[in-house]
Structure 1
Amino acid sequence: MIHQNCNREGVWEKRYERCLICSFCNSRICHRKLSRTAENPNRWFYTCPHDKKFNKWEDEVKPHEWILVPYCGGCGAGLCRVKRFFSGSSPGRIMFLCRIKEGEGSCGYRVWQDELQAMEAREAEEKKKREAEAVEAMINNQNQFNVLREHIASTKDRLFQIEAEVSCCEVEMRLLKLQLEKLSKNKEVLEGKHLIASNELEQSQKLLEEKEAEQNAAFDRARALLEDRIVPAYV
């Protein structure tokens, strides 16, 4: 990424180191060393970076004397240099600079301590806001998931009911099919009987017509004979 204060591409390592500023140099980070004397064995202390007579035990440093120094956000060369201003337009302010000096390959990274703290505070607030939004989104998703799970459960229950109804319909369909087959067989039997009855009726009708014809012929013959035998009265 490109940091806003150095305009060079590099790794912005959001790492800090707790340091102590030398009271003689006022803008130099003290060196941390380990005492190996018989009086203070394995005790950490700080000393002036320019070997001036400044020594302070680490366990005697007051909380307000510590300063968090960032690692260079431009080239990643390591812990930044510290510069404290005592005059000019920014008295009392502290600036962090690339540990490589200008003209010797410095990336030009520089940032005021208070601006860096404000930036970190804003980022922390934004992170907190994003986390809150993420938690809210997670809760909403969980609620939606619960609703969908309940919907799925009710849908499964409805599917079970539908399957039961389908099974009942299948049983009824099989029964109706059996009844239809039975009715079809009965229809065929009835149609056969009807055909036989129709044939018998047709034959009976023919016999009846033949008998009527014979009776009519006999009647005509009888009438003719009768007419031949009758003598008129006026003869």
Structure 2
Amino acid sequence: MTFPLRIGVQLQPQHSDDYAQIRGAVRRCEDIGIDVVFNWDHFFPLYGDPDGAHYECWTMLGAWAEQTSRVEIGALVTCNSYRNPELLADMARTVDHISGGRLILGIGSGWKQKDYDEYGYEFGTVGSRLADLAEALPRIKSRLAKLNPAPTRDIPILIGGQGERKTLRLVAEHAEMWHSFTNAETYPGKAEALAAHCEAVGRDPGSIERSSGVEGRDAESLVANAEALAGLGVTLMTVGCDGPDYNLGPAETLVRWRDSR
């Protein structure tokens, strides 16, 4: 399969004590031609003041679904541990309907211990959290198939992670999209591991859309890094954008790059 080159923005829901700043950033993403707008599923900031302002993921996605009309939306990524799989499927179906079929169901096994400790979830181990994700994914798909009304489309599942033995196996088995958390140097090895898992389960690795974050110290290096990833087969390039100002300058640079290719 051939996927179009797309640009994403992760609006990190931290360090803004006025939600209007996030609402405005979402509006600007639509205005400048962004393809996908993500948030993340944490309860506290990941950097800066650890007790700074922060908002919850899925209630925000419901608001984005109403606010927007063109961009796809989703979490990069949902923490599987925080919600019963059937409930998560119902939440995803509901946001899918509110948005008119623009939800991406991004999911991962979870990693930030403070989130677990403060909100009363069992942190477990890397292995136990991955086992929980492996058990949850079929339940999510099963519930999506039972819901009334059904989702407006086959909601694409994006799995975020790069563990070669377990996470990439889950990508091969369940995902339409893979977010690799890699760069041009580390991506090829991870893609090779994914291809091996796809062969083992009888799946064409080309049927999985490839997504990655992209960074750069300036516009020139940002574009160079995006070009390198595109040359390796990554088609969804996402830049992070932090509160409270939500500077979309790097995203605008990538939109111009996308449109010039």
TM range (shorter): under 0.3
| Larger helix percent | 1
TM-score relative to the length of structure 2? 0.19
Higher relative contact order at CA 8 Å, sep ≥6: structure 1 or structure 2? Answer: 2
> Which structure is larger by alpha-carbon Rg, 1 or 2?
1
